[in-house]
Amino acid sequence: MLVTSCAHKKIDTLVSSPSNNLNVEFFLTQEGQPAYRVLYKGGEIVSKSLMGFDLKDAPALAKGFKIISSDTSNFANTWEQPWGEERYIENRYTELRVGLQEVSELQRKLNIVFRVYDDGMGFRYEFPQQPQLGSFEIMDELTEFALTGDHSAWWTPGQAGNQYEYLYQNTPVSEMKLVHTPLTMETANGTFISLHEAALFDYSTMNLAVTSGTSLRAALVPWSKTSEVKAKVTAPFATPWRTIQVADKATDLLTSYLILNLNEPNKLGDVSWVKPGKYVGIWWELHLEKGSWNQGPKHGATTANTKKYIDFAAEHGFVGVLVEGWNVGWDGEWWNHGGDAFDFTKPYPDYDVDEVTRYAKEKGVYIIGHHETGASTDNYERQLEAAYQFLEKYGMKAVKTGYVETGELLTNGHYHHGQFFVRHAQKVTEIAAKHKVMVVAHETVKDTGERRTYPNLISREVARGQEYDAWATDGGNPPDHTTILPFTRMLSGPMDFTPGAFELTLPDRPNNQVNTTLAKQLALYVVIYSPVQMASDLPENYEKHPQALQFIKDVAVDWETTRVLGGEIGEFVSIARQERDSDNWFVGAITNEDARNLTVALDFLPAGKYYTASIYRDADDADYRSNPAAYVVETKRVSAADTLPLRLAPGGGVAISLLAE
């Protein structure tokens, strides 16, 4: 009878963003189940969407609730990123905190917190400490996103725990099944929506499943192959934020920092040792099979070869040299659940780590460590402390981690992006911070803004990077791939895409090529944001194009501010960024397979100040298929009053350095 009584008591709670353009209504259904809907500029973008949890060996935490408290508050401040695409970020929102309690004899409590910004909203569940709910297991999160139309969506397929390295598809929402986030959509009236999550700690990764029509539901990655449990929780506990970003233009999504704002401030204290920079390394030659990771006559990570890269880095101003294949464990089928053989403190005999370190230090360069685990997290965790002591001892200020696996599972049977792996990734981040090591993570869990809290987690892959151009059987990344990434994957955070290929036809790989022009490769340094950028090609290929190499040497990696000049998803994008602590600006513009004419207004420059513009553009006869390396460099004096007409070749781009006089 108590539940019936509650069902007839309808309590609505409305919360609005600071400028009142976004409104969220929270309410209980007739069955006492929490639900919400979202309105943007008066129009509903998310209709009635249910909330709650199914638990293991316990009644669902979903229906029969009453509201016992409701508090609204406002917050506004501006905080500074230690590094980033925008130095100062405004954090301004209205918060609604709703306290719920079951009316049954269980009387379990659940809080739901909404933070509503002008550019979107986030909500999460909080389980207060209570005798009725100590440690428990979540079988399903019942969070819904009931979309109000069959929007055009850009997505990659989600699986139980598999990788994120897929090409994007563009279909109506109704044609999706299970997808990764960020999921970006365009409505029929031209509003853009992105669904994702923020502050993913000690919880399972959220995919999205289409349940019926255009209604989506959270689909958490299971704990393991033998357990359908999604998360193991002990109260008090807060889930990650479920996020909805909204914009009138696709380009406005690129400068929404809602995901970062929903994360806690820096917990590491002084992070002056976290320094953005550009690097080279023993990497691309391995993908081209000019060298190999494993021992033998083609072994790439030798002392002599590393010194060659150190010399190149020192001559051209790169701060680091990545060395892959340096340590014992690469022989045999390590990628087929053979990662237990990796030893993270034992170099191969032809790699003299003491000599390499001495030589690098003498040249003013540091070695970037590499920890491929073969998805054997157990083996890696047994060595974590020793491995990071090793990095610290040898002055390796950064490490690239890898978790390559051939299926969906880690070697211990856990799903790759379930709660177990999320915990593991956090442990790696914290041990790396203890030893003052920056982490560039590959094959890891998606970014949800944790870099604000742990700034040493400086970049990650989590999408198809440039390596696919060397060996993918589908022909590599098509020209539109990088025009989709800024509006999808890049909404979550920095990406180690590894641009900078100058030999684009890949003569040693007749079935593959890099599907861009050389000028577009330069533009990617601005368009695909990362505070650590690789010049991925071989030194000898850079030496053939000293003019183009100059842009890579000049371009910044840490920014004061970012301006998106134009773009359409899958078509083109142009971005301007100001170098941090400098008056210099850099511009990158890229297109898909179509040639395109753009006009860039320089009104983002300060009035009355003059700049030397070096324009690295496609030659008139450039084409990513037939003449990709044709480019022209032009120099002119410009100011904020000028506009630059730009022609982008098929698969092409343009990169501009604007150096203050």
Residues serving a catalytic function are 467
The one-character DSSP state at 312 is H
Q: How far apart are CA 548 and CA 389, in angstroms?
A: 39
Cis check: omega of the bond before 182, within 30 degrees of 0: yes
At residue 1, the 3 state secondary structure works out as: coil
| Six token digits for residue 133 | 């709910």
State the residue for tokens 């650590």: 532
State the residue for tokens 């773009």: 567
Q: How many CA atoms lie within 13 A of 297 on its CB side?
A: 0
Q: How far apart are CA 443 and CA 423, in angstroms?
A: 15
- Secondary structure element (H or E) that encloses residue 384, with its range: helix 377-393
Contact 524, 481 (CB under 8 A): no
**What amino acid is encoded at 55 in this protein?**
L
Burial code (b: 16+ CB inside 10 Å, e: under 16) for 402-430 equals bbebeebbbbeebbbbbbbbbbbbbebbe
At residue 327, the 3 state secondary structure works out as: strand
Q: How far apart are CA 6 and CA 19, in angstroms?
A: 34
State the residue for tokens 């890579």: 552
Contact 200, 182 (CB under 8 A): no
Going by C-alpha positions, the residue among 529, 192, 248 that lies closest to residue 184 is 192
The one-character DSSP state at 222 is P
| Six token digits for residue 538 | 């071989």
Cis check: omega of the bond before 236, within 30 degrees of 0: yes
Instruction: List CB contacts of 30: < 8 A, sequence separation 6 or more.
Output: 7, 8, 10
224, β-bridge pairs:
227, 414
Contact 456, 432 (CB under 8 A): yes
Phi, psi of 220 (to 5 degrees): -75, 145
| Six token digits for residue 224 | 């393991």
Q: How far apart are CA 435 and CA 644, in angstroms?
A: 47
**What amino acid is encoded at 349 in this protein?**
P
Q: Is 79 exposed, middle or buried (0-12, 13-18, 19+ CB in 10 A)?
A: middle
